[in-house]
Amino acid sequence: MRVSVETTSGLERKLTVGVPAEQVDSAVDKKLAEASKNVRLPGFRPGKVPMSVMKQRFGPGVRQEVLGDVINRSFQEAVMSENLRPAGQPGIEVKNVDSGVDVEYVATFEIYPTVALNDVKDFAVTKLTCDISDDDVDEIIHVFQKQQGQLVDVDRAAEDGDTLTIDFEGTKDGEIFEGGSGTDTALELGSGRMIPGFEDGLVGASAGDERVLALTFPEDYHSEELKGAAVEFSVTVKAVKTLELAELNTELFASYGVEGDDVDAFRIEVRKNMERELKAAIDAHVKQQVMDAVIEAHPDLEIPKSLIAQETDALRSQMFQQFGGGMSPDMDLKSILPDEMFSERAETRVKLGLLVSELVQDMGVRAEPHKVRELIEDIASTYQDPEEVINWYYEDNNQLMGIESRVLEDAVVDKLLEQSALTEEATGYQDALQRTRAATQQ
């Protein structure tokens, strides 16, 4: 086998491979001979079809199958012999496949970069701290009561927070515009769903009222035709409803996984969940700052475009699944969620993956079994049957590998934190959650 390597640009390599003709031709003959034992053709006894007939009838198809196997196998052998680590799938251009002539093809691909680690130290990390107060617990329980509450009709003027059932029709210069009308639409006043002024204009309205709202679309509105446009909405209020909070009883407690009717026991369980959520958020915030420092310390690391493309596709699919849309066969997901939405984040994630992998090797950290167990048990504690979840992780190698990767990342973060300038900042529960979520979603 002949192999030559050319560096075309940066991480891209062009591998030219030549495979001796006799290696391919003999593999084709062998496969045809094996197939002839089971082939049935008119005029020939089973297993007695001449090789000349086999080649005529089945030769081209068998040769294509053999060529695929030969190219795959020889490519793997070639990259190993040249000490190359391909990133992503290669593009294969076959130069010659004729019988009796050496097979030649060119594989173009990117390789993983050689990662040279720089010092990651003396960087600033802020760790938020807070105590969960009784008022914080009350606020969360109030949210639960709202979630389980019911809308009931009221015979009074609408107030902020009420939900109205409305029909509305929008016009611009006397003409109805697309997307500006609705029937039996439920609208919570103060939710900010509608353009500025719409919801405010319905405060004080009662069931049966009709109102005309003269409004202006924001200058940054997504529709070019409506940016800054003066419009009128004719609105009919059909019902005014207010939210009646659910009672604190066994039914509400059970919906959040707590048995019995003890309010104090429910509050204890709610506080535990809040503490778990807060710790996870603060840890993620700290980890994000450390990872940012790792990225900043390696500004010149070149990464394969193919890996960025793969990560972009993964992020796009993740977002699509998150928002739960079923795809029709003719739907072009890339046009709905273009690459530009994910490319920057994808590049960061790929770069971090390469750097953390190298840091793991450099620091000699391991996924300690007891740490893996602790993380799995922590995740499982949020489920109704923790033991079942624990067993599921240990029975699924892919899931277990994912946990081990997180443990390795955490070990790297812990070591890097020793070299950081760590300060603590006291704050409130809601503020801590909002700030940590904002930081980790960038």
User: Is 50 exceeded by the pLDDT of residue 4?
Assistant: yes
Total domain count for the chain?
3
> Once rounded to an integer, what is the mean pLDDT over residues 257-266?
92
- Are 71 and 160 within one domain? no
Percent of the chain with pLDDT over 70: 96
- pLDDT value of residue 328: 52
Q: How confident is the model at residue 326 (pLDDT cuts 50, 70, 90)?
A: low
- Are 398 and 426 within one domain? yes
- Are 272 and 376 within one domain? yes
Final residue in a domain of this structure, among 82, 111, 140:
111
State the residue range of the domain holding 400: 124-132+264-440
- Are 74 and 165 within one domain? no
- Are 293 and 321 within one domain? yes
Q: What is the CATH number for 26?
A: 3.30.70.1050
Distance, CA of 409 to chain centre: 18
User: Is 50 exceeded by the pLDDT of residue 252?
Assistant: yes
Final residue in a domain of this structure, among 244, 277, 295:
244
- Are 273 and 350 within one domain? yes
Residue with tokens 């019902």, as numbered in its chain: 239
Extract the tokens encoding 415. 């070591």
Final residue in a domain of this structure, among 211, 244, 277:
244
118 occurs within a structural domain: no
CB 108 within 8 A of CB 79: no
- Are 284 and 429 within one domain? yes
Q: How confident is the model at residue 325 (pLDDT cuts 50, 70, 90)?
A: low
CA atoms within 13 A on the CB side of 34: 7
Q: What is the gyration radius of the CA atoms in the chain, in angstroms?
A: 32
Q: What is the CATH number for 192?
A: 3.10.50.40
138 occurs within a structural domain: no
Q: What is the CATH number for 285?
A: 1.10.3120.10
- Are 128 and 98 within one domain? no
Alpha-carbon distance 170 to 233, whole Å? 4
- Are 50 and 95 within one domain? yes
315 occurs within a structural domain: yes
CA dihedral 426, 428, 431, 436 (to 10 degrees): 50
Contacts of 384 by beta carbon, 8 Å cutoff, 6+ apart: 257
Q: How confident is the model at residue 442 (pLDDT cuts 50, 70, 90)?
A: low
Alpha-carbon distance 199 to 207, whole Å? 15
407 occurs within a structural domain: yes
30 occurs within a structural domain: yes
Alpha-carbon distance 282 to 97, whole Å? 60
253 occurs within a structural domain: no
- pLDDT value of residue 329: 47
250 occurs within a structural domain: no
In angstroms, what CA-CA distances link 109 with 5, 9, 95, 115, 147?
11, 11, 17, 18, 52
- Are 344 and 422 within one domain? yes
DSSP string, 204-221: T--TT-EEEEEEE--TT-
- pLDDT value of residue 31: 81
- Are 89 and 166 within one domain? no
- pLDDT value of residue 37: 75
User: Is 70 exceeded by the pLDDT of residue 22?
Assistant: yes
pLDDT digits (tens, 9 = 90+) for 345-376: 999 999 999 999 999 999 999 999 999 999 99
User: Is 70 exceeded by the pLDDT of residue 66?
Assistant: yes
CA atoms within 13 A on the CB side of 109: 22
Q: Where are the alpha helices (DSSP H) in 188-304?
A: 250-255, 263-296
- Are 107 and 22 within one domain? yes
> Once rounded to an integer, what is the mean pLDDT over residues 194-214?
97
119 occurs within a structural domain: no
